[in-house]
Amino acid sequence: MNKQQILFLCSHNSARSIMAEALTNHFLSDKFEAQSAGIEKTQVRSKTKIVLEELGINSSKLYSKHLNDFVQKEIDHVVTVCDFANEFCPTFPKAKNFHHWSFPDPSKFEGTDEEVENYYRKIRDEIKDKILSFGKNF
């Protein structure tokens, strides 16, 4: 069975979409090959890497990518994980399915370093739960 191609999009490809890519490739690698991109290409946030490493996910090869690199590729599922990306992302003419999963931006959370890191964990776990639920359909 061929793996389904899934592309996760958010505004900066620094937290939510990176988490979704890494979590999908870690937990559902038998069903999906995931990638991620942003409306803007930035850098993966250090807290994103920390909370992924806690689950045993190697974050050293994760990097921010621009969505234009994927517009003409054949993709089974394009998933926006923030409202901004859902509203402003271009069309993907070769994509088969579109999904929108809205998650808060952990980089906007204000608090102590520990509180911010805990919020990243919360968003990571919400994304993980959504991905595992989505994967049950395949």
Q: Which of 23, 82, 85, 123 is catalytic?
A: 82
Is 6 noted as a catalytic residue in this protein? no
Is 10 noted as a catalytic residue in this protein? yes
Is 99 noted as a catalytic residue in this protein? no
Helix, strand, coil percentages, rounded to 5, for the chain? 40, 20, 40
Q: How many CB atoms lie within 10 A of CB 1?
A: 6
Give dist(CA 64, CA 67) in Å, integer. Answer: 10
Q: Which of 6, 7, 9, 10 is catalytic?
A: 10
By DSSP bridging, strand 32-38 and strand 4-10 are: parallel
Give dist(CA 67, CA 8) in Å, integer. Answer: 9
Q: Which of 19, 51, 62, 89 is catalytic?
A: 89
> Which positions are catalytic?
10, 82, 89
